[in-house]
With several copies, the nearest count.
Chain A
Amino acid sequence: MNQVRVENPPLLDGFRDGYSVHLDKFDGPLDLLLHLIRRNEVDICDIPIADITRQYLDYIKLMKVLNLDVAGDFLLMASTLLHIKSRMLLPPDDREEGEEEEGDPRAELIRRLLEYQQYKEAGMVIGARALLGREVFARTCSDPALAESRSEEGPLEVSLFELVDAFRALLARIPAESFHDVAPGDSLSIADCINEILSLLWERDTLQFDELVRDEQTRERIIVTFLAILELCRLKLIRIFQNEECGAIWFVPAVAPGQAEVDGEAALPVA
């Protein structure tokens, strides 16, 4: 700590008047870097990399002294800074420069900092607006006379996140053994494949086996597609045709489009 104090008095001054506030204020390594650059009143495009790197590392050390969990993102930036510093210490190597075509090793960091700064400020600007429910209020009640006449006819308003979240909440609720077959499958599941085939068949009347595996001709893909077709066939959802031996395999929906819905409406009272 003494070392830090001698080397970097301005940094510690900040901590003295409330380091805890400063410590949990930074939203990431870029935020911290930007803070150090502003504190040092240096040009963002001409960062004194040795000083800033030292202050950055001091800061991480301080976090460690305070028993804070130092996030990996901060350490990654530390190594980037050290890398830049070491490159700037090396005398320019003609051959290397020719290879990399990059003059200032700080350029990429500067680019990121400028871009980050842009969004940080944009965040502050939009956050300073008069927000609904904070500075501005709309009517919270609908007309009492209308409250009773609720309708469910209008267009549905629900987000995808709500749908997934509902499923997630359900899975969390039911005991593990009863949903082992419901857990999310791997990247390639038979259920996914069935869905894919069904959605393709809603758009077109016929499909070829080759079309289903064309984009991704892996063993796994072909097997899963084949199993999905067998399952669909077993469920009597599709019919399979082959015109000649070793010829193309075609599928058609077993139920003509619309027919299934008619079937459904017959099974249920029409509203």
Chain B
Amino acid sequence: MSLSAIIESIIFAADSALSLDRLCEMLPEYERSAIKTALADLVEFHEGRGGGFGLFEVAGGWQFRTSPALQEYVVRHIKTRTAKISQSALESLAIIAYRQPITRAEVEHLRGVDCGGVLKSLLEKKLVKILGKKDIPGRPLIYGTSKEFLEVFGLKDLKSLPTLREIQSLDEMPRFERQEELPLEPDRAPLVERSLPFDEPLNP
């Protein structure tokens, strides 16, 4: 395996720019000068091939980056990439899914915090919709989950939503797993005499 390929893989997988010092530290079997040369070769190679990214020296070290000329295209991806949902949004969404029809005040009572912003973003994402107004003083809006909600979670209908009990039942420690964690101390006397039906040797 060539030193260039080794350095390339380390820089590629790193989550920040890597300095020459750090690279030398990681590759004690190679000379500092060889690492330096390999880095220069890599920079030149990627520059010369005119690809979508190259190796650049930025503050503190080397890093692979997309070419600035391609920014326009890269941004297109950013705009369409899958969005992640925040933990607070997920929590509110779960409350609405399981307790609908529900008012904002009820969601807030359960979460103990203001949920206006979260609710608005859930409405914007069309995961939640307004079902109507509750017939109590102030006539608060009532929320429920939408058709898009079912689509995002791949549910046929609301009945297919797993119940809490079903998820909780996964938590019940299987006996065998528990057994693996028991300290093996053969000399310790059994605390409880378990009666097994196989105490006596069986004759074949």
Contact = CB atoms under 8 A, between A and B. Distances in A.
A51 B202 CA distance: 11
A246 interface: no
Interface stretch (A91-99, A105-113, A205-213): A105-113
A150 B88 CA distance: 18
A43 B177 CA distance: 11
Residues of B contacting A: mostly: mixed
Contacts, number: 393
Interface in A105-149: 107, 110-112, 114-116, 118-127, 129-146, 149
B37 interface: no
Interface stretch (B28-36, B39-47, B120-128): B120-128
A157 interface: yes
Contact of A119 (B66, B98, B123, B146): B98
A123 B39 CA distance: 32
A161 B83 contact: no
Interface range, A side: 35 or more
Contacts of B14: 140-142
A103 B146 CA distance: 42
B129 A137 contact: no
Residues of A contacting B: mostly: helix
Interface of A: 3-4, 7, 20, 23-25, 27-31, 43-45, 50-51, 53-54, 57, 60-61, 64-75, 77-78, 82, 103-104, 107, 110-112, 114-116, 118-127, 129-146, 149-171, 174, 178-179, 182-184, 191-192, 194-196, 198-199, 202, 234-237, 254-255, 260-261, 263-265, 267-268, 271
Given A45-B182, A158-B153, 10 more contacts: A25-B87, A68-B184, A73-B113, A121-B171, A122-B95, A123-B93, A130-B68, A155-B152, A261-B129, A265-B123
Interface of B: 9, 12-16, 58, 63-68, 71, 74-75, 78-85, 87-88, 90-95, 97-101, 109-114, 120-121, 123-127, 129-135, 141-142, 144, 146-147, 150-155, 157-159, 161-165, 167-168, 170-171, 174-176, 178-186, 188-192, 194, 196-199, 201-202, 204
